[in-house]
Amino acid sequence: MNETQVKENKIITTTPVVDKKDSTIVETKKNIVYQTNNLDLWYGDHHALKNINLDILENEVTAIIGPSGCGKSTYIKTLNRMIELVPSVKTSGEILYRGDNIFDKSYKVEHLRTRVGMVFQKPNPFPKSIYDNITYGPRIHGITDKKILDEIVEKSLKGAAIWDECKDRLNQNAYGLSGGQQQRICIARCLAIEPDVILMDEPTSALDPISTLKVEELVQEIKDKYSIIIVTHNMQQAARISDKTAFFLNGVVNEFDTTDKIFSNPADEKTEQYISGRFG
Ligand SMILES: Nc1ncnc2c1ncn2[C@@H]1O[C@H](COP(=O)(O)OP(=O)(O)OP(=O)(O)O)[C@@H](O)[C@H]1O
Ligand SMILES: [Mg+2]
């Protein structure tokens, strides 16, 4: 049985778990957004991802941690099929997004691009005004009404906690903003297409501590509307902001559990060594 509710124009579906004895709902189980089954990936002969099995749940922040070169960026770029831009890549296994295998020949990658936004390590605003950065996606989707675009700009910039800093300079070039502000513009640009999932690859590694904190607070604030997957080298960050943590090591998921468990009582010795800074 599925219960569907409309929340700020977005349909959230949860599956209630019913107590068999008296039919009361004992807990609400979160739905799976991404299910990765037996995923392998090769760059030419290099086996970069090995038998990955991971479930990413709705309205959670999932952190991906692990030493350099262990496959974190490869994995999140596979989730939106950006990895296909690398000609030598081969994959096997499946990734189900909302139940559909994104590797199926008939699967429309455009659908994935409208539902899954991405924020990169280095802020990458377009060399355009703040306004045009935010309206870029909605315009591609055919929205031309100035009033609607204005509303999207305000809502997205507020959602990314940068409205107050740029409401009086919307027509200025986004390059004129600080790095931390540019990163929040990139998050706002993501929110403007009303995504379902936001992928973030080390989004704060180029930012100062105050901007980092703002982005972290933002992730916490928006996670009740989106599902967020964040790659980070910062253990404190993973511990502060995520619900689940996947520890990647040499292309495999070494351990995946609640963030509390990973950081307080990991099952595997290598996980323990990594989070306590003894290697990586
Ligand atoms: N375009 C590519 N062509 C060939 N090999 C690649 C390519 N991109 C990544 N690799 C290799 O795949 C492995 C995983 O790389 P990936 O970028 O996913 O690591 P990562 O965990 O994100 O590392 P980092 O923390 O340094 O960003 C590495 O051995 C890397 O050298
Ligand atoms: Mg990387």
The DSSP-derived string for 94-117 is EEEETTEETTSTT--HHHHHHHEE
**Is residue 7 pLDDT above 50, yes or no?**
no
**Is residue 174 pLDDT above 50, yes or no?**
yes
**Nearest residue (CA) to ligand 1, atom 3:** 43
176-198 pLDDT per residue, tens: 999 999 999 999 999 999 999 99
Taking the C-alpha atoms of residue 11 and residue 4, their distance in angstroms, rounded to an integer, is: 7
**Nearest residue (CA) to ligand 1, atom 31:** 69
**Is residue 131 pLDDT above 90, yes or no?**
yes
Spatial neighbors of 148 by CB under 8 A, at least 6 apart, are: 138
In this prediction, residue 211 has a pLDDT band, given cuts at 50, 70 and 90, of confident
In this prediction, residue 161 has a pLDDT band, given cuts at 50, 70 and 90, of confident
Atom of ligand 1 nearest to the CA of 121: 27
- Characterise 157 by phi-psi region: left (phi > 0), alpha (psi -120 to 50), beta (else): alpha
Q: How remote is the CA of residue 255 from the centroid of ligand 1, in Å?
A: 20
| Of residues 178, 156, 77, the one with CA closest to residue 120 | 77
Tokens of 245: 């943590």
Instruction: Give the lowest-confidence range in 26-30, 41-45, 69-73, 213-217.
Output: 26-30
CA distances from 98 to 13, 72, 115, 116, 184 (A): 11, 21, 10, 11, 27
Backbone angles phi, psi at 28, to 5 degrees: -110, 115
Taking the C-alpha atoms of residue 278 and residue 236, their distance in angstroms, rounded to an integer, is: 15
Q: Which has more confidence, 11 or 265?
A: 265
The answer to whether 219 and 202 have CB atoms below 8 angstroms apart is no
- H/E segment holding residue 273: helix 269-275
**Is residue 68 pLDDT above 90, yes or no?**
yes
The predicted pLDDT at position 24 comes to 64
**Is residue 17 pLDDT above 90, yes or no?**
no
77-128 pLDDT per residue, tens: 999 999 999 999 999 999 999 999 999 999 999 999 899 999 999 999 999 9
The predicted pLDDT at position 191 comes to 94
Residue 120: CB within 6 Å of ligand 1? no
In this prediction, residue 207 has a pLDDT band, given cuts at 50, 70 and 90, of confident
Q: How remote is the CA of residue 73 from the centroid of ligand 1, in Å?
A: 7
Q: How remote is the CA of residue 200 from the centroid of ligand 2, in Å?
A: 10
Q: How remote is the CA of residue 230 from the centroid of ligand 2, in Å?
A: 11
Cross-strand pairs, 129: 173
**Nearest residue (CA) to ligand 1, atom 19:** 69
Ligand nearest the Cα atom of residue 74: 1
CA distances from 109 to 11, 102, 106, 121, 125 (A): 21, 7, 9, 23, 23
| Mean pLDDT, the chain, integer | 91
Pairing of strands 227-231, 197-201: parallel
DSSP 24: -
**Is residue 212 pLDDT above 60, yes or no?**
yes
Q: How remote is the CA of residue 3 from the centroid of ligand 1, in Å?
A: 40
In this prediction, residue 16 has a pLDDT band, given cuts at 50, 70 and 90, of low
**Nearest residue (CA) to ligand 1, atom 27:** 68
Residue 72: CB within 6 Å of ligand 1? yes
Taking the C-alpha atoms of residue 156 and residue 151, their distance in angstroms, rounded to an integer, is: 8
Q: How remote is the CA of residue 82 from the centroid of ligand 2, in Å?
A: 14
CA distances from 35 to 68, 90, 165, 266 (A): 24, 19, 38, 23
Residue 43: CB within 6 Å of ligand 1? yes
CA 64 to chain centre: 10
Atom of ligand 1 nearest to the CA of 231: 22
Residue 232: CB within 6 Å of ligand 1? no
Taking the C-alpha atoms of residue 97 and residue 203, their distance in angstroms, rounded to an integer, is: 23
**Is residue 2 pLDDT above 60, yes or no?**
no
